[in-house]
Amino acid sequence: MDIEKVRSYFPSLTTRIQGHPLVYLDNTATSQTPSRVVDDMVDSYYHRKANVHRGVHTLSQLATDRQEQTRRHVRDYINARSETEVIFTRGTTEGINLVAASYGTRFKEGDEIILTVMEHHSNIVPWQLLAKRVGAKIKVVDIDERGVLDIEQYKKLFTSRTVFASFCHVSNVLGTINPVKEMADIAHSYGVPVLVDGAQASPHLKIDVQETGADFYVFSSHKMYGPTGIGILYGREKLLRDMPPYQGGGEMIEHVSFQGTTFASLPFKFEAGTPDFVGIAAFDKALFFIEELGLENIERHEMELLEYAANEIKRTMPSIRIIGEAPHKSSVLSFLAGKSHPYDVGMLLDGLGIAVRTGHHCAMPLMERLGIPGTVRASFAIYNTREEVDIFLNGLRRILPMLE
């Protein structure tokens, strides 16, 4: 694959930071956006901006068609059974909150919810709010020293009181790829539904919601070369049909009177208000971009960069400790440099034009479990190069003496 050609689709990569060419290694937080996606949004704002649904005029119908085309594309991308199982949200966080607030209406005092210690705050706090509201209990699966989930402990946490399990497909800190199909099968053997947080998996791995057995699966456009503020919630139709609406307003209704309201059919029951139809339509272009490159090619390239960077660090920089070395992981490199604070490392690298993420990465319980304040995190995407990894490694070698 011609990576330089791929890079040409991303004008942002030509940015200079403090006199240095940008080396963007913060892809786990958000990816850069190819020009075709931005151009589509600009063209929509200039020539196709009209509110979707119920409009009889041509622009409204065109905007509606493009939004629903994206829904059908997402259906195929994740192998959902029907587009009625695809709900547009503002991101992964809203998708999880929607399920917790809506499906969670059936939970009661004493019920148990299973999470893992490696979850993002977005897959912890909504369940804590729900648990506090109804008197439910949260149980947490631990990891080993490599960052691998304790699957035996996971099995033992299920009891007759377990009502739900929610876990990430890929850890945003460790890069660990969890065995979600096995985890879903275990939960289903107890009659327990599962939600899979796919925010970190969707840019790198093939998603097949039927194969994994996920009852709910959530992810975000902005990590997949798409616009910000767009998310996807997949839910099995039977579950969605029985869930109450998450929000009330326009678009999600069939009939309203002061005597009562009847709600629209799926998926619109969960899409109150005017959606970001411009961003949703542009997300279609991002999905085509990924498909044209091929997820297998993307994953292979990213893993080559990860393995090269990790091996060079181990070989030449013994003061750096890599956090998360699961045998099956994605392109995330979290580390600590000696006794230095991650923030100091990030600031010094930024002075060289190298963008990494520092801190707890919205995974404070995981940091507490590891006994560290946070990490420096470099994460790779399809447009990153071996030369950029060398710049990153040389940057580390340059700043390490300053941190001693």
CA gap 162, 29 in Å, rounded: 32
Residue 362 known to be catalytic: yes
For residue 267, whether the previous peptide bond is cis, meaning omega lies within 30 degrees of 0, is yes
Question: What is the total residue count of the chain?
Answer: 404
What contacts 40, CB < 8 A, 6 or more positions away? 281, 282, 285
Question: Which tokens hold the place of 200?
Answer: 């970190």
Question: Which tokens hold the place of 192?
Answer: 């327990």
Give the burial class of 384: count Cβ atoms within 10 A of its Cβ; 0-12 exposed, 13-18 middle, 19 or more buried. Answer: buried
What contacts 120, CB < 8 A, 6 or more positions away? 168, 172, 197, 199, 361, 362, 363
Scored b (16 or more CB within 10 A) or e, 190-204 reads: eebbbbbbbbbbbbb
Per the residue annotation, which of 38, 362, 367, 393 is the catalytic one? 362
Catalytically active residues, by annotation: 362
